[in-house]
Amino acid sequence: MMNKKIYYLVASIIIVLYAILQTVLGISENVLINQIAPVILTVLTVGFIFLHGSLRYGIKQMLVFFVITTLISWSYENISILTGFPFGNYHYTDKLGLKILYVPIIIMPAYFGSGYLSWTIAQLIIGDYNSKPNKKNWFVIPIIATFIMVMWDFTVDPFMSTISGNWIWENGGAYFGVPFVNFVGWFICVFTIYIVYSLYLQRNKEYKAHNITKEKPYWITAVIMYALLPGFTFFKMFFANNETVKSLDGNEWSTLDIYTTQALMAIFMMWFVSLLTIIIIKNHKTE
């Protein structure tokens, strides 16, 4: 197993770099930075996830999680682009780089990164610190984790679509150009990922759950990473120029309104959940 000091050193470096890059993304108005920064942030998130997850599950189980997440998210995304189900009618532009069929490669790791963090927080909230959900929580954890992950999408989708144009909602939508059905689709897609992985862990008799409940700082690092996911929106609210953007349904939106709303979502949803989780960790009696 990885040396504890090495883990905390590397994890701390990633967290600091992540926070710095979120700040740069939040302050900068450079178009290139707005396109490249999310990709680098995703890479840093995935790096942290494999570092953190390998101590809980081992590399093999993390790879299984990655494969499940990639296949399910890629399938749902392509189906929706072709049919409109479950996310609605949209398409990706070329701003996020190379695609596999219709979906940029970077999208699947983004699901994986935020997905693992949301999964971990869901376990912490209900007090199940094992890497393998117990028989009572195999269904509950996926439900809670899904809600926690969809929170994140609320804080980034209008920026990534309506403002940055990384993907385009072809019929617009009430949430700053994003349709209601998108979040329903997210719930369906993410829950599918979680329930498949949960069932896999339950039925994998060769896999034994690891319990590292004594390492409270270890759990807190994951919560910090989750809290940092929407960090740029807070800075955009103060430093970004206020402009007018238009969605394809003809509605015009103030970018400042978008940034402010996303920041409010981050503060009173994601950061509240993060604070609650840290309190739960602090009050947890180690074994």
Give me the number of domains the chain comprises. Answer: 1
Element (H, E) at 90: strand 90-92
Q: 61, 10, 105: which is closest to 201 by C-alpha?
A: 61
Contact 129, 213 (CB under 8 A): yes
This prediction has a pTM of: 0.94
> Which tens digits make up the pLDDT trace of 7-61?
999 999 999 999 999 999 999 888 778 778 888 999 999 999 999 998 888 899 9
Contact 178, 253 (CB under 8 A): no
Q: What is the mean pLDDT of residues 140-153?
A: 97
> Which tens digits make up the pLDDT trace of 230-247?
999 999 999 999 999 999
Q: What is the mean pLDDT of residues 128-149?
A: 89
pLDDT score, position 47: 96
pLDDT beyond 70 at 283: yes
Range list of H helices, the chain: 4-27, 31-56, 59-83, 107-125, 140-158, 180-203, 216-228, 231-239, 255-265, 271-283
- The domain of 216 spans 4-283
pLDDT beyond 60 at 264: yes
